[in-house]
Structure 1
Amino acid sequence: MSGRALTWASAVWEQKSPVCARLEDFTAELKRVFGPPGSDRISSRGLFRLRQGTRTVGEYSIEFRTLAANSSWCHVSLYDAFAQGLSGEIKDELAARELPRDINSLIDVATRIDNRIRERQSTRSQGGTRATSFRLPSERPAGPLAPLERGYPSALHRKGLSGAEGSDTEPMQVGRARLSSAARQQRVDSRCCLYCGEAGHFIAHCPVKGSAHQ
């Protein structure tokens, strides 16, 4: 100690003041004499108003401990004040648990709960973003149905299974069944028409196909 504090402490010691009997009493008296005027009341008002809000429990507990250190509140009052200032979501989780006995343990439990809730919220948010790129048939938005959904052949089916104009496949013929894969391959190997099965021409110039269309 030095300066005014040393002068004060020397005077108190020489007077054999009761505050010199215990270190705790001497420290409290030192803070009362040299501390900011009304600091205890300011900290008490701050503890009354303090709330977690949208902050993490860690951020909330740092401000709470700072105010608590400058107050003269007992441990029970500090415990209740900290629990009261927690967010509703944390309070709901604590309601289903057996509460710890001291405030330091309460801060630790509340911090772990808060971290898990925030991790879960982050996981749900990421999963929801990925899920929007996939929809089940029952989840398709209302509106005009695509050709296949109306029961009509799509443009690819009208053009041929390959999807190109002038394809050698004919998906539907009046009075004729669709060729099997084996039969089609046999006609290709024999260089026969895929429509009538005769040699000497291909499906693009098949006279039977032209007559059937007419």
Structure 2
Amino acid sequence: MNVLLWVWEWFSRPEQWAGSDAIPARFIEHLGYSGLALLLSALIAIPIGLVTGHTGRGGFLTASVANFARSLPTIGVLMLVVLAVGIGLAPVMAALVALAVPPILVNTYEGVRGVDPQLKDAAQGMGMRGGEVLLRLEVPVALPLILLGLRTAAIQVVSTATIAAYVGIGGLGRFIVDGQARQEIDMVVGGALLVVLLAVLVTGLFHLLRRLLVAPGLRQRAAAE
């Protein structure tokens, strides 16, 4: 109970809401790092997933690379890149992108590969060819899985972006790292709660995107599965 009171008092301090080290500034930094990592991951993973899923070529290699990347410890990747290029934004992005690419890549590939072949035949019978089948049929049908992969990656990135603080970058992780260094449990718990809050907001955002972008019939089908 005392911990909850300490955390409440920590949130209630005026200095927590103004300045470069305050909650709003750290929140924006954390969101910026997470958003950049998710964008880079999507730019890498979605095109590869679409092409391999559409052509049926390279599927085994795609799954193998994705599973290998999943097995990499994020903090280990971070430290290796720090040793190679030094402290800065690059090692953080490398670690977060390595974490985020696999779920986006696998879900995009599986979503496109899972489109009913009869639908593809019907589209080709209507005169669609190659890229048209991919963009006008396969992508819309695969969109629920693609968004699921993006949501999974986004939550993982938001939760893991706290590692940025270990290499001197800002973000919400600074509250956790600095709180541990100062042995201030209220700061550590407060920072962790802010990360959880951001993860919940990201989850809500993707639920909204799903309702806006996915056709009702596809939403019902995905829910049934």
TM-score by length of 2: 0.22
Q: Which has the higher contact order (CA 8 A, sep 6+)?
A: 2
> Larger Rg: 1 or 2?
1
* Structure number having the greater helix percentage: 2
TM-score where L is the length of structure 1? 0.23
